[in-house]
Structure 1
Amino acid sequence: MNTASKDHHSTRASALAQDLRALLSKLKRRLREQGGMGDLTPSQVSVLLRLETDGPATAASLARAEGMRPQSMGSVITALEAAGLVSGAPDPNDGRQTLLSLTDACRTWAQEKRAAKQDWLTRTIEARLSLQEQDELAASVELLKRLVGD
């Protein structure tokens, strides 16, 4: 491959990367709108996702994992507790610590939000894309999985 060809491929890849980032950001916003995350901040959403994925955790371990100061994490947790999304219980290994976990109400709420996002995306794909375009989209999803290593 000559230099001009390499430059063209590099320029094309850069343009694709820019378009893809912009498009995925827009899709993420649309899905967030459909899920109705309400008044939650990005930090609060991140903490909820971490608790859902990793299980119960202390405020200190959440602060470390999120790269936040413990004081900042305290305000995040206070807001989540006030909303009924997380609750604390004494750590069985260290009674001085509190383990935070998602409430049942939070789990139900999260499932409902995910279902709303899935429903919107399914309806949008069906309404806006022909069967051939849906096949093309499926092929594109496979390429995207390769990009992220899945």
Structure 2
Amino acid sequence: MSRDDPAAEDTAGVAAAAAEVRTGVMRLARRLRAERNPGELTLGRMAVLGRLERDGPTTSSALAVAERVTPQSMARMVQHLISTGLAERAPDPDDRRAAIIRITDAGRDRVRQDRQRREAWLAQAMTTELSDVEREVLVLAARLLDRLADS
């Protein structure tokens, strides 16, 4: 490929954009993690609670697939959530041999508190650091990042 090859330039441009997006997302994720209280649930456990709250009851194996972790790792996370009263296991109405995992009221409260704390920091940062137009662009970018995450 020569320097005048538009395809090579386009590929390099996309790669550079991907690196910039990755870096920005990772830095923001670290900053949001810093807003957690010491002793809070791990991010993995919070992600599982959030998924249960958002998507409803499901099996441990479906959670493992959705969160992209091994079934063994998910089993440990689910067991911790159950033992702390944040989730519960119930018989699967469609398959009596299986069990479904669902969030408890205490789990919903924990998710709500965690989201409120992080969103309060983010809203404050967006208000002080970004213009109205930049905030609109950021909302669009967030939707695009969600789309990429689902791909």
- What interval of TM-score do these two structures reach, taking the shorter chain for normalisation? 0.7 to 0.9
The equivalent residue for 2:100 is 99
Match of 2:40 among 29, 38, 44: 38
| Match in the other structure for 2:86 | 85
- 2:4 corresponds in structure 1 to 4
In 2, the alpha carbon distance for the partners of 1:62 and 1:147 equals 21
Q: Aligned partners of 2:31, 2:103: CA distance in 1, in Å?
A: 25
Instruction: Report the equivalent of 1:109.
Output: 110
TM-score normalised by structure 2 residue count:
0.73
- Matched ranges for 1:49-60 at <5 A: 49-60=50-61
Residue 70 of structure 1: how far off its partner (Å): 4.3
For 1:82, the aligned partner's letter is S
- Structure 1, gaps ≥5 residues long: none
Please provide the CA RMSD for this pair: 3.1
Name the amino acid aligned to 1:113: D
What is the number of residues matched between the two proteins? 145
Equivalence for 1:134: 132
* Aligned 8 A contact 1:87 1:100 in 2: yes
Q: Counterparts of 1:72 and 1:149 in 2: how far apart (Å)?
A: 26
SS at match of 2:35: helix
Partners of 2:114 and 2:28 lie apart in 1 by: 16
Whole-angstrom CA distance in 2 between matches of 1:72 and 1:92? 25
Larger CA deviation: 6-15 vs 119-128: 6-15
Mapping of residues 69-84 of structure 1, within 5 Å: 69-84=70-85
Bigger relative contact order (CA 8 A; separation at least 6):
1
Q: Which structure has the bigger radius of gyration? A: 1
